[in-house]
Structure formats: C-alpha cells, structure tokens
Amino acid sequence: MCGIFGYVGAKNNAGQLVVKGLKNLEYRGYDSWGVACKVGETAVVEKDIGKISSVDESQFSEECGMAIAHTRWATHGGVTPANAHPHLNASGTIAVVHNGIIENYQTLRDDLKTKGYAFKSETDTEVIPYMIEEEMKATDDFASAVRNACSKFDGRYGILAFHTESNTLVATRTGSPLIVGVGEEGYFIASDIPAFMEHTKVVQYLDDGEMLVTDGKSILFTDLETGQEHPKREIEITWSVEQAQKGEYAHFMLKEIMEQKDSIARAVNQDEQQIQVIADAIKNARGTFIIGCGTAHKACMAAEYFFSVVAEKHINVTSAGEFKVHHHFLKPESLLIVVSQSGETADSLEAMKIARGKGAKVLAITNAEGSTIDREADYTLLINAGPERAVASTKALTGQMAVLMLIAHTMVDKLHEGKTLLLETVSMINDMLNPRYVEHIESLAEEIQNTEDLYIIGKSWNYPMALESAIKIQEVSYIHAEGFAASELKHGPLALIEERTPCIALLGNDEVTPDIISNTIELKARGARTIGIAPENNEAFDEWIKVPDAGAAQAIVNIIPIQVFAYFLAVKRGMDPDMPRNLAKSVTVK
C-alpha cells in the first residue's frame, strides 16, 4: 500500500525520473501523489490529490540529482493535498516519504506538539520529519538522526528521507518492502521493481530492521538498531520491461487474463526434485496449515479439495488474518503454506511470523522472487506468472492453483500425471480464449451490467471458485456479488432470489454435477436468470458459457470466463478495472 521511489546519482533529472518510474507503482495506491526534489540546498515539493499517471513529469526541475516520490493509499487522514506525501519539517530541510503505519504516532504527535511543533496534516507520517529534526539536535549526522528517530517508532514502515544540506538518501525498513536498483549512474530505491526497470535489472533487497545510506556513488547497508554493516548480494531479475507493460491491451487486467495460457504453463514447469522435497515435507508434517488473503485465500481453499481428492491428505485452511487465533495448534513439526502473489501481504507475513515463532517450517508459494515471504520461508515455489499489475488477481490465482495441484499429485507419486493434466488444461485454455469466446462473454456482460445483485454457486473445488468469482465481480464492477456453496442455497440465500436475478453456476463433469444441476433448477424455479459455466449445456441454464472438461483441474478453467465477465462488467459500467476504488494491489498494512 502506497508506493515510494527515490533516486540519487549522476542523472540531473531526478524529479522527472522518480515521477515517471512511480507511474509503474500506481497499483499500490492512487489517492494522491507527491515529489520532493533536492534543488541546490532546498527541497522543492509538488503534491496533489489524484493519480500519478495524470502528472506531466516534464514540469519538474532538470537541475536535480536526488528526489523522492510517493503515490498514496490513504490510511491516516483523508484524501487531501495536505495529507499527500512528501512531508517536511517546518524549515523545509527534511523531506520524507513513507509506506506503512507508525502505530504510536498519536503519542509522538502529542509529545512533539508540547515541544512546539505545528502539524499541517492528519497523517501518521508527519511525525517522521519532526522526530528526525529532534534527533538532529544531538547529532549533525543525518543518517544517525534517522536511525535514532526510527528507534522510537512502532509499526511497519518503509521510509525514504533526505536532508537538503547533505547529498545522501537514507532508507529504512521494518515491514514494508524496499528494493534497490543498482544502476551505472546511481541508486534507485523503490517499493517494487517496475519503478526502475527501465534503468537497471540488478537489485539488492533491504531487509526488515535494516537501513541504507547512499550518495549515488556507493551504498552502505546497516542494521537499523546497531549500525553494524550488512553485506548484500546483487541479484539479476529475469523478467522484462515489456512483461510489465500493457502492450496492445486496454487494461492490465485483460492482458493478464489472456496471458494465462502461458503463465499456467510456467507455473507447472517446476524443478521436480524441489517439488518432491516439498511433497515429502507436507507428508511428514504433523499438521499442515495453508493461509492467504483474498484471492490467494481462495487458492488455499481450492487446495484443500485438491489435497483431499488427489492425495487423501487433510490440510487446514484459514484466511491469513484469522490465523493468529489458531496458533496453539502449531508445533515444531507443523508446516505452514503461505500463498501470496506479492509476497508482501502484512496479514500473511504475520501468520508466517507466528508459525516461525512456534518452530514450524514455512513453504511460500509466491510470484515475487526476493519478496519478504520468499526470503523468510524455508522452502519457496515461485509461480513465475510474470508481473501482475492489475489490482484484481487473475493469472496469479491460476498459477497458485496449478502449483498446489502439482504438489498434491507429487504426494502420491503422480507428479507426471499431474503435469500432463495441467499442460493439457493449458492447451484447452489456449483454445478457449479465442476472440469469439471473449465476445460472447462481453455481450452477456452488456446485458447484465445494470443488475444490482449477482450470485454464484459452486460445489467441491468450484465452491472456492464461486467465492473468488464474487471477489472478482465486486472489486472491479462494484456490483453486489456473493458466492455460495450450492448446497447452502436452501438454508438461507434462496430468499434473496427475485425475478431475473442473475445466478451463475460453476460446474465440472464429475460426481457433484447432478447435485449442482438440481440447485440450479431450484434457482430457476424461483425466477433466477441462470448462467451455467460448464463443459456441457443443460436445460437448467438460461445461458451457457462452455468450458472444456478439465477433470481435476476444472477449477482452474472455470474461473477464467468469470475473470473475463468481471472485466467487461467493469468496462461497461465505466469503471477502471485496473484501479478499483478504495483498493491497492499490495496490502502491506494489517
């Protein structure tokens, strides 16, 4: 949540550079934007509400070798120019951008007020420049003052700061990601790699509890508390600038939906020895837990069915934010599987911390190599989906499910059978996602766009997909959508059905198909407009969206037409599917 980006080095258009780069991190927040450029010995600040993509960067000074910028997802304080970052101290010598939350800001703010500081914003962030200023009364060294100020902050944060009288950029991190791009002409420090990808693909990760100081020529990583130097590895990232761009598509969401024929294949292409090690770890664990948030949590729910049906193994699924209350079930022999596209989700990180505190092992299934979840796990399987930029998660979900399905097969010595199933599924998805198919779904979205309510039902692994369908439709189209286990309808939700209420049924070709057909007929009998997403048509459906029969991989196939449907509902209703209101891509606050 919130994107930050700073640069220091030999280039003299730092302000333009950081604003341009930050446009690639707009998915992290789009309430307001701001930039502070060090021009001579002053900090020139521009900030406003609105999206950073609407800012013309050419307006910023070309006489600037250091700048920091921010794109905001509001937590403390409304969406106003005063609450936009950067925040400065009263004399304007210290500039700060911040991602995360300073949890004890209220106490610090009250204390600072008694010392005469006057606050201009309602944010937690504004305490940071004042706290640094306070510390500078005891030391001339800006980095030391930042270190001392940070020792008084509670919470999770990533901070970038500079002082107008020094040429160094300082970054600290406890919880919110910060990655360094190592360029030939300076250092780029950002919440995520796409900010600086056009300049360098060589990165270094700032870890939790670390600080870095750079003047653009060299960089020093230290322990935030002790000041002890931490040596760092340079890592070359493998994905390309093109992968992180929209290309011919109107929106990232559509691009990422269409990419799934390739991204699922990449997810399936795992190192077989590594998959075997992980399958054995799950088999030998005394209690396996699987957690994620939002869409990743629905992948976890689907995995419960995969593991049960394919491997006859029970795993315990919980939403990451609910995991805390289950901690007493964890033992050193337990295993926690953490599923997260970004690898930075605060609730998932907290669950991971709890598990590690109990001595349990952690397996990460993530799309983000080098993310905190990747680096702190005992084992990682990367889904290799490539950058996912739309807030709505699409290709990450199918990649996560593919990897989990592969593990389930490997646990019963059927790795190759699982691989074949998934690769055949990829080929079926490739055939399915043709222009006529997409147009058919678009025309259905055109007809249904004005509905107020929409319900989705599923059974077995299609039940979590019904829940996921609801998330997808809610978040991009703002239509009230809800998913149910089909068998639950008659225990309450059936009362919601009115004449022509759209109800989508997700089906496969398996032993639960007759049950869900009956439930669909029950809906139709109450006047619902029924839409079947199924390999075969049935008189229970008013409309039919055909999907290939993918057997145990049906959940992976069935969610794809829903993603397309949600996308077109958003577009028809005039919404931006890539940037839904109130949401951000990477949820780094609890």
Question: Closest CB to ligand M6R among 96 and 346?
Answer: 346
- Residue 397 · residue 267 · CB < 8 Å: no
> Sign of torsion, CA 542 545 547 552?
negative
- With respect to ligand M6R, which residue has the nearer C-beta, 16 or 371? 371
Taking the complex as a whole, how short is the minimal distance between the CB of residue 368 and ligand M6R, in angstroms?
8
Q: Which is nearer to ligand M6R, 345 or 513 (CB)?
A: 345
- Nearer CB in complex with ligand M6R: 264/391: 391
CB of 348 to ligand M6R, least distance (A): 5
Q: CA 464, CA 478: separation in Å to the nearest integer? A: 20
* Cβ nearer to ligand M6R, comparing 29 with 34: 29
User: Which residues here bind ligand M6R, judged by CB under 6 A?
Assistant: 293-296, 340-342, 345, 348, 391-393, 471, 475, 587
Q: Which of 263/340 has CB closer to ligand M6R?
A: 340
Q: Write down the least CB distance from residue 472 to ligand M6R, Å.
A: 6
Catalytic residue among 246, 358, 585, 590, which? 585
Q: What DSSP assignment string belongs to 192-209?
A: SGGGTTTT-SEEEEEPTT
Nearest distance, CB of residue 340 and ligand M6R, angstroms: 3
Q: Report CA-CA distances (Å) from 202 to 193, 205, 233.
A: 10, 10, 10
Cβ 279 vs Cβ 271: under 8 Å = no
b/e string for 232-251 if b means 16 or more Cβ within 10 A? beeeeeebeeebbeeeeeeb
- The minimum distance between CB 443 and ligand M6R, in angstroms, equals 24
Beta bridge partners of 453: 480
Instruction: Using alpha carbons, select from 84, 109, 104, 106 the residue that is nearest to residue 96.
Output: 84
Q: How far is the CB of 439 from ligand M6R (least distance, A)?
A: 24
**Cβ 249 to ligand M6R shortest distance, Å:** 18
Position 393, amino acid: S
Least distance in angstroms from the C-beta of 505 to ligand M6R: 22
Torsion angles phi and psi, residue 82, rounded to 5:
-65, -30
Cα separation, 273 vs 265, whole angstroms: 18
Q: Which residue is at the shortest CB distance from ligand M6R?
A: 294
Cβ nearer to ligand M6R, comparing 253 with 268: 253
Taking each continuous run of H as one helix and of E as one strand, the counts in the chain are 16, 24
Residue in the block written with tokens 């605060």 = 346
Is the previous residue joined to 86 through a cis bond, with omega within 30 degrees of 0? yes
Q: At what angle do helices 415-432 and 260-268 cross, to 10 degrees?
A: 170
The reply to whether 585 belongs to the active site is yes
User: How far does CA 100 lie from the centroid of its chain?
Assistant: 15
Question: Quick count: other Cβ atoms within 10 Å of Cβ 218?
Answer: 8
CA dist., res. 108 & res. 113, Å (int): 9
| 156 strand-pairing partners | 101
Considering the complex, state which of residue 175 and residue 294 has its C-beta at the smaller distance from ligand M6R.
294
Q: How far is the CB of 496 from ligand M6R (least distance, A)?
A: 23
β-bridge pairing 178-183 and 202-206: antiparallel
Which residues does 223 contact at the CB level (< 8 Å), separation at least 6?
Answer: 209, 210, 211, 230
Q: Residue 385 and residue 255: Cα distance in Å, rounded? A: 12
Closest CA to 153 of 186, 138, 131: 131
User: Of these residues, 2, 293, 300, 503, which one is catalytic?
Assistant: 2
Residue 283 or 590: the one with the smaller Cβ distance to ligand M6R is 590
Nearer to ligand M6R, 336 or 471 (CB): 471
Q: Which residue has the tokens 């991602």?
A: 99
Cβ count near 116 (within 10 Å) = 8
Give the whole-angstrom CA distance, residue 238 versus residue 384: 10
- Please state the closest distance from residue 386 (CB atom) to ligand M6R, in A: 14
CB atoms within 10 A of CB 127: 28
In whole angstroms, how close is the CB of 339 to ligand M6R at the nearest point?
Answer: 7
CA of 491: how far to CAs of 161, 485, 486, 495, 519, in Å?
56, 11, 10, 9, 12
Closer CB to ligand M6R, 13 or 342, in the complex: 342
How would DSSP label each residue in 141-191?
Answer: -HHHHHHHHHTT--EEEEEEEEETTS--EEEEEEBS-EEEEEETTEEEEES
* Residues identified as active-site: 2, 585
